[in-house]
Structure 1
Amino acid sequence: MALSNNVIGCINFVAMLLSIPIIGAGIWLATEPDNSCVKLLQWPVIILGVLILIVALAGFIGGFWRIPWLLILYLIAMLVLIVLLACLVVFIYMVTIRGSGRPATNRAYLEYHLDDFSGWLRRRVQSSYKWDRIRSCLSSSSMCAELNQSYRMPQDFFNAHLSPLQSGCCKPPTQCGYTFVNPTYWISPIDTAADMDCLQWSNEQTQLCYSCDSCKAGLLANLKKEWRRADIILLITLVGLIWVYLIGCCAFRNAKTEDLFRKYKQGYT
């Protein structure tokens, strides 16, 4: 049984290592400016990663120090955490399955529309209370001011591949027909009735299109891209954890079988 316990300890050490990508994915999301403004996904991911680390550590201790009740607790808790991680992976995929940019005439960048995204994501930004806080956070960044340093000629700007946030928040929608002065200053709209965002645009550098639905859509498009990357990491880690868990279950069963066989031999002799 000592050998099996050592195997269980080593397996749980691998599970501890697998918690690192989960925690790392949460920390990465927290460092992204848009995610730090919204604060939706990073903390559930980090907390789940930390819990997996703690449970794997308990299994590691239980294996090497031969504490059966701790191993049983590990098996139950890890199963629950694996199910939660699987639910999180599926949830992220489902809420990000919709939403992508639309091409605009004679523009390299894409335009973003709020209705293209899932209802759950839209509800995170539609209430004025939530958006006021997010807008204040986004407008404090330098993402729009940086465009003025990079693009001075209209055609250079029209050929630029802007991020969803820059396209949605830093300029008016293309269909409004505003005239380019610089990336964050536009005049003389042709059709203010083309989109409600046409009326929301302001040349005030602290306002721009931060109140526009296109800005909310650009934020969701950015979140979708980053969440999908994190979801790939979580999915790969989930597969690894399932593999480790199944091996751990087999090792625990073998250890119990060896223990029963040893006791049987002792009783027989």
Structure 2
Amino acid sequence: MAENNNANVVAEEQIVPVEDKPCTDKEAGGSGGGDVPATKNKNPFLEINNLDKALATMTLIFSIPILGFIVWIFYVRYSDCESILKLPSFQVEIGIALIFLFLISNGVVFLRSRHPVLGLLIVMVPLLLIFIIGLALVGAYKMESRSVAASPKWLRLKVFDEAHWQDIKSCIYDTGACDDLVSRTLMLKSYDFSLKKLTSIEVKQQSSLYSGCCTPATICEMEYVNATFWTKKEGVPNPSSPYVSECNLWDNDRGNLCYNCFSCKTGFLKTLQAKWWKLGVFLILASLLLFLAHLILFLSSVVKQFRS
């Protein structure tokens, strides 16, 4: 019995409770494993999904100014006697083209994930067309076609065509441009009138020469009475001046004035060119910005499909 008790005591002493220890990454990996690297924090903006959404939003923002410009086109289409040259119809065509461009651009943005290549090709066609029209309106290339309406060369040919000018001259008179000039400068003296800032139709300035539809050229040396009434002095102006013929054409009659003068045609032409040049610049900038936005969005969509 004593031997059995001693054996039990020895067995109890040999049983030692083992404490649970947390398993380290090194032990879990075995003798050949190393420390598990910690996960790096990623910038959520650089993830392809968030970047793709940001590019799509940017493309939509770039297309918003087109809507405002469409409203402007339809609002000013009957200004400056342009209906005689049938320019309002051309403005309507550009406005319709911009509407289609807006719809196509935004449609491609929403359908880019399914058909990125086809969407890029579809949007490039109207963008290229708008870009070419913009270049024509600003006269960016010398070999400019005369058939492109509202281009600088086209406008010059139309304005200086005598058949068109007769109607344009009547339109300028009917709008009362010179009558408005008289009412605005009725109390001005000669010196004050010379400092007055006027439109290209009312008066055109080249160096020290003033001319236009409503006033004679300075080289004529006429005496100022009011904006549209000038007294001719004795003597012949400088015969070498190109404005001598303008002096002979001047008439104080409100229905004549200098409407037949070269300077009047040039002033009206300058007014038209300034407006259509702005339109051309907008078309160029809008097409370039949308082209870059869609190109970057296309590349982003391709990368996204490649990674998935």
Q: Please, what TM-score do these two structures have when normalized by structure 1?
A: 0.69
How many angstroms apart in 2 are the aligned matches of 1:55 and 1:15?
13
Residue 262 of structure 2 is matched in structure 1 by 213
Residue 195 of structure 2 is matched in structure 1 by 159
The alignment partner of 1:186 has SS state of strand
How many angstroms apart in 2 are the aligned matches of 1:238 and 1:226?
19
How many angstroms apart in 1 are the aligned matches of 2:126 and 2:289?
13
Select the structure of larger CA radius of gyration.
2
Residue 168 of structure 2 is matched in structure 1 by 134
User: Structure 1 162/75 Cα, relative in aligned 2: closer, same or farther at 3 Å?
Assistant: same
Out of 84, 88, 94, the residue aligned to residue 129 of structure 2 is 84
1:185 pairs with 2:219: no
Deviation, structure 1 residue 228 = 3.7
Residue 9 of structure 2 is matched in structure 1 by none
Unmatched 5+ residue regions in structure 1?
98-117, 262-269
User: Structure 1 230/25 Cα, relative in aligned 2: closer, same or farther at 3 Å?
Assistant: farther
Deviation, structure 1 residue 21 = 4.7
User: Structure 1 46/207 Cα, relative in aligned 2: closer, same or farther at 3 Å?
Assistant: farther
Higher helix share: 1
8 Å CA contact 1:18–1:241 kept in 2: the answer is no
Residue 220 of structure 2 is matched in structure 1 by 176
How many angstroms apart in 2 are the aligned matches of 1:38 and 1:209?
21
8 Å CA contact 2:73–2:91 kept in 1: the answer is yes
Out of 66, 69, 90, the residue aligned to residue 19 of structure 1 is 66
Out of 141, 145, 159, the residue aligned to residue 125 of structure 1 is 159
Amino acid in structure 2 at the alignment position of 1:183: A
1:75 pairs with 2:111: no
User: Structure 1 21/76 Cα, relative in aligned 2: closer, same or farther at 3 Å?
Assistant: farther
8 Å CA contact 1:178–1:188 kept in 2: the answer is yes
Residue 46 of structure 1 is matched in structure 2 by 95
Amino acid in structure 2 at the alignment position of 1:50: I
User: Structure 1 11/157 Cα, relative in aligned 2: closer, same or farther at 3 Å?
Assistant: closer
Could you report, residue by residue, the CA deviation over 1:17-64 in whole angstroms, capped at 9, with x for unpaired residues? 242254245346526436566554634542332231232244255458
Deviation, structure 1 residue 155 = 1.9
Unmatched 5+ residue regions in structure 2?
1-48, 143-151, 204-211
Amino acid in structure 2 at the alignment position of 1:146: D
Amino acid in structure 1 at the alignment position of 2:175: S
How many angstroms apart in 2 are the aligned matches of 1:56 and 1:18?
13
Give aligned-pair identity as a percent.
Answer: 22
Amino acid in structure 1 at the alignment position of 2:297: G
Deviation, structure 1 residue 217 = 0.4
Greater RCO structure (CA 8 Å; 6+ sep)? 1
Out of 49, 55, 78, the residue aligned to residue 104 of structure 2 is 55
Amino acid in structure 2 at the alignment position of 1:20: L
The alignment partner of 2:230 has SS state of strand
Amino acid in structure 1 at the alignment position of 2:125: V
> Aligned residues, how many?
232
8 Å CA contact 1:34–1:219 kept in 2: the answer is no
How many angstroms apart in 2 are the aligned matches of 1:206 and 1:256?
71
